[in-house]
Structure 1
């Protein structure tokens, strides 16, 4: 069964490069074809890539509309497709590493920066990940509030360095907005981190093992 990595999609070519890098890295660990699909914005969409038996892994940091509604709708009623849970909090170890690379240290006020969502369950996923990295506050770049810059301004009076932990997968408009948020430092996007690749590979093999057990 081939592996389909389902990403959100972005108009920024740097985001597409990260998706390709993740897929290429995953390919080195699995014995089946790995293909990239997008839930929105870019092609190919999930529907066109799911053309036979496969495992679809949503490479999303929270289970919002695309994960809960859009991707399942594009898969349809196919019985030969397995949809796993999204990457989600499994990317937290990679984020911790990005924070270390950025120079985040004990005593810093950490603001967790996420894209945001109108889905309350997706925001709950964000809060869970923020707790896992010990963030002091959460800010959003796009959907939901408060905005990252407002949160950073609010914690400035604590007299400590302010570090933004970027809960974003790839560079682009959202991550670019963090550069002017007023923080002392901002971690890089999670990207094609080896720990992300390991998490996606685990999801694939777990799904495939479950199929074999049920066969």
Structure 2
């Protein structure tokens, strides 16, 4: 019995570099688990439904989002349903997770951050309160590692905006302020952070060995349950997982 195909679902970006980063991440994951396809819920294609229609055999969809908002709660389940694929599992989104906090700390260090420097976690933002709660949890996980409060700023949706948070910290006496980019890949949102007035901006999470392992773990946990579900009744297993879908934007 063949292993399920992995479908890595990302937001989408017009940035060639961002698309290349997502493709490189999928390549690293495929070296560990086999067939890995990439789909996007916005900006460009292919969509998850298009990818799933092209697959034979079971599939595991991994939402590569760092917080659970509209795209994870609504877009991904709708795309799975629209595909008509009879055997799909959807895993939890990537974040928040302690693994991501460790990668964020490394990216901050690479950008020149030192203990004692203020940290702003820059997230895309969402109108979904569940996604904002996930961002707060991500900030709390990072705060444990940097041993200081991590302030939150948003790039697109929700308040406060990143530049406002940076200004407030400087007005409060923080000499050095660094931005931790809580984004998966390069793109318009990340480039906006360069104008936030910080002393340094960390790179997006990108292709990192720990992130690759997190994706592989998400897949393997669901792939194992997919196999067990087929033995005991594949149709009911798919219905249960659709009710459990965990989202993020």
CA deviation string 1:18-67 (max 9, x = no partner): 1100000101111x311001111111100011134200000011111010
Deviation at 1:159, TM superposition (A): 3.4
Match of 1:200 among 207, 210, 215: 215
1:63 pairs with 2:68 = yes
Q: After superposition, give the CA deviation of every residue in 1:124-171 in whole Å (9 maximum; x if it has no partner).
A: 000000111114311000000110000000000323311111101111
Q: Please state if 1:87 is matched with 2:94.
A: yes
TM-score by length of 2: 0.83
Alignment of 1:24-39 (within 5 A): 24-30=27-33, 32-39=34-41
What is residue 187 of structure 2 aligned with on the other side? 172
- The question of whether the paired residues in 1 share the 8 Å contact of 2:117 and 2:174 is answered with no
Q: Compute the displacement of 1:175 (Å).
A: 0.8
Shift of 1:211: 2.0
Matched, 1:144 2:158: yes
CA distance in 2, matches of 1:159, 1:6: 38
1:106–1:9: structure 2 CA closer, same or farther, 3 Å change rule?
same
Q: Give me the whole-angstrom Cα distance separating, in 2, the residues matched to 1:209 and 1:174.
A: 36
What are the ranges of 5 or more consecutive residues in structure 2 without an aligned counterpart? 144-148, 232-249
- Structure 1 segment 40-119 matched on structure 2, within 5 A: 40-51=42-53, 52=56, 53-76=58-81, 78-90=85-97, 91-119=100-128
Alignment partner, residue 238 of structure 2: none
Q: Flag the structure with more relative contact order, 1 or 2, with Cα contacts below 8 A and sequence separation at least 6.
A: 2
Matched pairs, number: 214
Say if 1:84 and 1:207, in contact at 8 Å, map to a contact too. yes
Q: TM-score, normalised by structure 1?
A: 0.95
Match of 2:234 in 1: none
Q: State the shift of 1:212 in Å.
A: 2.7
**Equivalent in the alignment of 2:239:** none
* CA gap 1:159/1:55 in 2 versus in 1, 3 angstroms: closer
Note if contact 1:107-1:160 (Cα within 8 Å) is conserved in structure 2. Answer: no
Secondary structure (helix, strand or coil) at the match of 2:195 reads coil
RMSD of aligned residue pairs (Cα, Å): 1.3
Q: Secondary structure at the match of 1:29?
A: helix
The whole-number CA distance in structure 2 between the counterparts of 1:172 and 1:44 is 18
SS at match of 1:179: helix
Q: Give, in whole Å, the separation in 2 of the partners of 1:172 and 1:155.
A: 26
Aligned counterpart in structure 1 of residue 224 of structure 2, from 196, 203, 209: 209
Uncovered stretches (5+) of structure 1, i.e. residues with no partner: none
Relative to its length, the structure with more helix (as a share) is 2
Look up the SS of the partner of 1:50 in the other structure: helix
CA distance in 2, matches of 1:167, 1:155: 19
